[in-house]
Structure 1
Amino acid sequence: MRASLIQVGVDQQEPVNSRRERVASRVRSQADADLVVLPELWPVGAFAFDAFEEVAEALDGPTHQAMSAAARDAGVWLHAGSVIERDADGVLYNTSLVYSPDGERAAHYRKIHRFGFDKGEATLLGAGTEPVTVALPDTTLGLATCYDLRFPELFRQLVDAGAQTLVVPAGWPARRRAHWSLLARARAVENQTYVLACGTGGTHAGVEQAGHSVIVDPWGEVLAEAGPDEEIISAELDPELVGKVRHSFPVLRDRVLGLPTP
């Protein structure tokens, strides 16, 4: 199973419609992949709080239309990163979108942990309430977004729901890049899963981005890692490796606390 992460450079001088077209073209270029992943809030920039209201869209809005077509044309499963979703009641959410190879939206996930410490995203957006998994032919994805990466209990719930590959789109700041790399590997090791952590490059809203998207295997080994700028990285994932690791080193079996209720 081949996974490709498209680390998008977000320049706010680039019109959003132009960026959608450019990103859709990059998705189509990955037709040899099985799964393609985009970053968090690439249409607007994760720190462009002042623009959230203006660019908010419905689940079937312009980003959906562009990404659905791109997934269908490339014939890939596409985690299209996230958008600012405007719900019917007017509440805004940071919502990830996942598409099947026929262009159908297979799932969406509203970010549970909002970043900002009583400002920014934490005050502007509603919070999701439910972990989300998506069954692919060769693996089950567990969905998380950026700041979620700091909350291991979410990932335990995803594993309990069957996740074998954790997908984390992000707009992570460069000043905390060491945390990004450390936490991505930690989530892989403690849950014995693949981790596909896809960030943005460049600078937006005055915040330099960490980049360094990374693909990590269930032993915590880095299979591919990007630099700081726009880049595509790819790696081959062995769908059977998760089961082999969990069988040969059965730490999940020895859990005592926080187990799901029978």
Structure 2
Amino acid sequence: MKLALAQLQIEPGAVEANLSRAAEAVAAAAADGADLVVLPEQFVVGFFAFDDYPTHAAGLNEPIFDRLAELAVENSVGLVAGTTVEDLAASAEAGYDVPADSGYANTAVFFDRDGDQRGVYRKHHLFGYESAESELLVPGERLDIVDFEGLKVGITTCYDLRFPELYRRLVDRGVELIVVPSAWPYPRVEHWKTLGRARAIENLCYVATTNGSGTFPEADSTLCGRSTVYDPWGTTMASVGDEPTRLAVEVDPQRVQEIRERFPALGDRRD
């Protein structure tokens, strides 16, 4: 399966421009033969544009998600739609399983080639350090695993990388590829690279960390980019700098199984 990461230029609050860049990136990745495309965290409004969150929040049945589903269908790809701000009350009213009947969540949706919502992941660990995320949003609870093209795919988001127990739960459910939409800023570049690699090494699975690109003056923050795919040994398969770009690699579920059989460290775990 060909996996593509779209490291998008994200402009704070510029929803239509951000969506246009996402659409162009998905189309370009599909033209290059991608089967699954992953977008960054809060690629629609920008992670640090907290004042804009309520304005652009939407339920999972509302038009923004229809547009993203159409993007998957038009390009015949699986699409992990980075994350967007979900209006939990609207989703609850539409019959979705939500962690709270009101408030907002940092939500990634996995669309298959037919545009169907195959998985929903709401960021579990909300960043509280000089950030309004933990004040504005409700943490998620679900851990959907999506079987796509013979590969079991899980989703986590950005700050989740610092909490390895979450990844153990995914491995216990058979995950072979974990995609990590993110909005990781400077100066914590070494953390970004080390944590992504560590999650791959300790869980013997592919980890794909998909960051954005851009500066947020209101938060005095710049995203560090460096989207990367690690193989189940933790070896870097592909990585980029901090400018808007794409990368693509072939991932193989058989390689995950071969490495786990060759080095069966997961079987030596003690709770």
Report the TM-score, using the length of structure 2 for normalisation.
0.91
SS of corresponding position for 1:39: coil
Matched, 1:41 2:55: no
The answer to whether the 8 A contact 1:211-1:226 is kept is yes
Runs of 4+ more than 6 Å apart? none
Name the amino acid aligned to 2:16.
N
Write the distance in 1 (CA, Å) between the matches of 2:156 and 2:73.
24
Write the distance in 2 (CA, Å) between the matches of 1:213 and 1:224.
8
Matched, 1:110 2:109: no
**Aligned counterparts, 1:166-181, within 5 A:** 166-181=178-193
The answer to whether the 8 A contact 1:21-1:66 is kept is no
**Aligned counterparts, 1:179-190, within 5 A:** 179-190=191-202
Report the TM-score, using the length of structure 1 for normalisation.
0.94
1:24 paired residue number: 23
1:61, CA displacement in angstroms?
Answer: 2.7
Name the amino acid aligned to 1:28.
A
Write the distance in 2 (CA, Å) between the matches of 1:96 and 1:172.
16
SS of corresponding position for 1:90: coil
Q: Structure 1 stretches of 5 or more lacking a match?
A: 258-262
Q: Percent identity?
A: 39
Write the distance in 1 (CA, Å) between the matches of 2:235 and 2:81.
25
Change (3 A) 1:135 1:44: same
Write the distance in 2 (CA, Å) between the matches of 1:214 and 1:194.
11
SS of corresponding position for 1:142: strand
Write the distance in 1 (CA, Å) between the matches of 2:126 and 2:55.
19
1:235, CA displacement in angstroms?
Answer: 0.8
The answer to whether the 8 A contact 2:12-2:48 is kept is no
1:119, CA displacement in angstroms?
Answer: 4.8
Write the distance in 1 (CA, Å) between the matches of 2:3 and 2:155.
15
Q: Deviations over 1:45-91 (max 9, x none)?
A: 11111211111111123331221111111111111100000012431
The answer to whether the 8 A contact 1:39-1:171 is kept is yes
Matched, 1:244 2:271: no
